[in-house]
Amino acid sequence: MKLALTVLIMLPLVFGLAPADDRHIAKPGIPFDGNNIGGEANAPYGPPTVSNSPGEVVGSSYYAYQTNGSTGNRISLDGSGGIHISWTKGTASGGRPRYVYYNFKDEITGEWLGETAISSENGTGFVTQDLMAGGEAMPVYHFADAPVSYSAIAIDLFRGFGIFEEFAIPNFGIEWIWPYGVRNTTDGKIHVICADFNSNPSNYGYTFSSDDGQTWNRYTQIFATGSGPGIGSLSGTIATSPVSAKTAITYTLDNEYGFYDVLYFETEDGETWNWGDPYNITQFGPNSDMSAWTDLDCLYDYNDNLHIAYQGQAVTGDTMWIWGDVMHWSEATGHTVAGTHPSSDTCSTINYCTCMSKMSLGVNPDNGNLYMVWADLSQNDVSAGGFSNGELFASASADNGATWFQQVNLTNSPSPGCAPPNCDSDVWSSLAEKVDGNLHIMYVDDDDAGAEWVPQGSWTNNNVLYLSVDEGELLPLGVDEQIDLPFEFDLSQNYPNPFNANTVINVSGDFETATLAIYDITGRMVNNFAVDNDHRTITWDGTDTAGQPVASGAYFYSVNVDGFGTASVKKMTLLK
């Protein structure tokens, strides 16, 4: 069986190759109906317009399209609190000139350095980035217009300085492009994966440098993207641990049943890999109701656990739909749903994007909270050209990804029926891996929805935006607001847990009065109880303040001590 990705009827996926000097993968078969095929590219629009999409403008680009498959990391938070952003910048319509650009926000002054070119060579692009030991930016990108295309890294002279030294990665005659690169903080090793542009399906290669990019190991071919249409999914991405030498490479691969599985390679010491024996975390079979697709992200938390985000496209029979779930996996939690796009909203997709795409993961090292950001496309917000305008959504987990709170629309900038350059299509995003009480996000606000070079929509000069989101906006009230009390205090774990009738919670400490509140995963308070010297043991029977039974699922309970604030928050599970 081969799955066909469809909207309402089963249609085959069609991939095509863009002109060789563009070094992209075109997939004009998704909009799926004759009303959404996109016209010829129009004259460019510019300069960037005033946007309803939130955030600080850090630059611009005619090139809204930043990646084919997985979004990768294009924003980093350094140890001093500085913000580093890299992106592919088109300076005119038509795909060229095209460069990679950089900007930096100083944590003390709050001022931006100003957008600056990383490389002066035309045809550079498809950048991801990490940081060096001193917080210097380390962008990784490719040179598409070289006689034989190749990838390279650049390293800033000083943190936030914006003057880069480039280091080419030897390609040995193979066009290794579309790079994703990371630097491990414990051993300093730089790991890079790339795809071979001339292979079909695309071969992926891995290389590394142990001396800050001065020399590189010869590429090792590690996998091919399968027998899928065109040159494969281009899903490969990479992550490295902040506390050990562990590094993982994740990708999707079509299996014998036509589903796309999620697989990964891992090294625990930064050197010894399980090449030839990847871990398959999905193992979709002929009766599965879900398939992965082209987008992934992976991240290690500060307890050295690997987390993977992937698209869970809905499947019925031999049809893979463009809606479904945004999924999370870790070895501890298994597969959990971080967000959902309903089947009632078919959306008008754009190149290499289904209704939910471009996932990014982030983690707060202080409290362990996990976050996911992705782009969502809706049939209720479609441009005049026939393509859905994107919105950025996010969800949060306070238990390492086991459960996720309600998804939140971060950008909320609909522009249905818009003509260029008056659209607000927020798709090409990236979340910094480190969350410090705020989520740090970069994205492109496309002034005409689509992928302009396919062509889908018009060439427009678009704002590149930085968006900071307080993590409290994604968490139920109290989960991010715990305080230290000047006296002894203890909130017990409820017992039994999980429970299906009654559960008991004990509160102890040197205080007189407090309130114990119970919240559902949306942050809505469902019940509350007074806590005083005579009432330190609370029994909850799974009802709300009106005495009505609440639904099964995860709940949080917290104690607010009068005169001090929220002292502790814990989680419990109601089963019926």
Q: Are residues 165 and 212 in the same domain?
A: yes
Give the whole-angstrom CA distance, residue 559 versus residue 530: 10
Domain presence at residue 9: no
User: Which residue range(s) make up the domain with 176?
Assistant: 16-474
Q: 211-253, pLDDT tens digit by residue?
A: 999 999 999 998 776 544 333 568 999 999 999 999 999 999 8
Within-domain flag for 446: yes
The tokens describing 265, both together, are: 């390679």
* 6 assigned to some structural domain: no
| Domain containing residue 559: CATH number | 2.60.40.1220
Residue 257 has pLDDT above 80, yes or no: yes
Q: 125 and 220: one domain?
A: yes
Q: Is residue 484 part of a domain?
A: no
Judge whether residue 122 has pLDDT over 80. yes
The CATH number given to whatever domain includes residue 405 is 2.120.10.10
* pLDDT of 565: 55
Is there a single domain that holds both residue 518 and residue 464? no
Report the alpha-carbon distance of residue 480 to residue 483 in Å, rounded. Answer: 9
Tell whether 445 and 521 lie within a shared domain. Answer: no
Last residue of a domain, one of 474, 507, 524: 474
Q: For the chain, what is the domain count?
A: 2
Do 436 and 521 fall within a single domain?
A: no
**pLDDT, tens digit, for every residue of 303-340?**
999 999 999 999 998 888 999 999 999 999 999 999 99
The answer to whether residue 480 sits within a structural domain is: no
To which residue do tokens 């003057």 refer?
163
pLDDT-based confidence at 7, cuts 50/70/90? very low
The answer to whether residue 190 is domain-embedded is yes
379 and 281 share one domain: yes
Residue 5: inside a domain, yes or no? no
**Model confidence over 365-397: pLDDT tens digits?**
988 999 999 999 999 999 999 999 999 999 999
In a domain? residue 54 = yes
Mean pLDDT taken over the chain: 86
**In this structure, are 390 and 463 located in the same domain?**
yes
pLDDT value, residue 199: 77
Please write the tens of the pLDDT for every residue from 131-186: 999 999 999 999 999 999 999 999 999 999 999 999 999 998 999 999 999 999 99
Query: Domain check: are 33 and 181 in the same one?
Result: yes
Q: Are residues 146 and 223 in the same domain?
A: yes
In this prediction, residue 389 carries a pLDDT of 96
Query: Given 442, 474, 506, which residue is the final one in a domain?
Result: 474
Residue 224 confidence (pLDDT) = 72
What is each CA distance from 297 to 51, 239, 251, 374, in whole angstroms? Answer: 28, 8, 9, 10
Confidence category of residue 521, pLDDT binned at 50, 70, 90: confident
The Cα-based distances of 379 to 31, 38, 206, 395 in angstroms read 12, 16, 39, 21
pLDDT at residue 21, rounded to an integer: 33
pLDDT of residue 566: 63
Task: Give the Cα separation of 200 and 218 in Å (integer).
Answer: 21
- Do 171 and 281 reside in the same domain of the chain? yes
Beta strands in 187-305 (DSSP E): 190-196, 203-209, 220-224, 237-240, 247-254, 260-267, 279-280, 290-291, 296-300
Q: Tens digits of per-residue pLDDT, 444-496?
A: 999 999 988 888 999 999 999 999 999 988 886 555 555 455 567 788 999 99
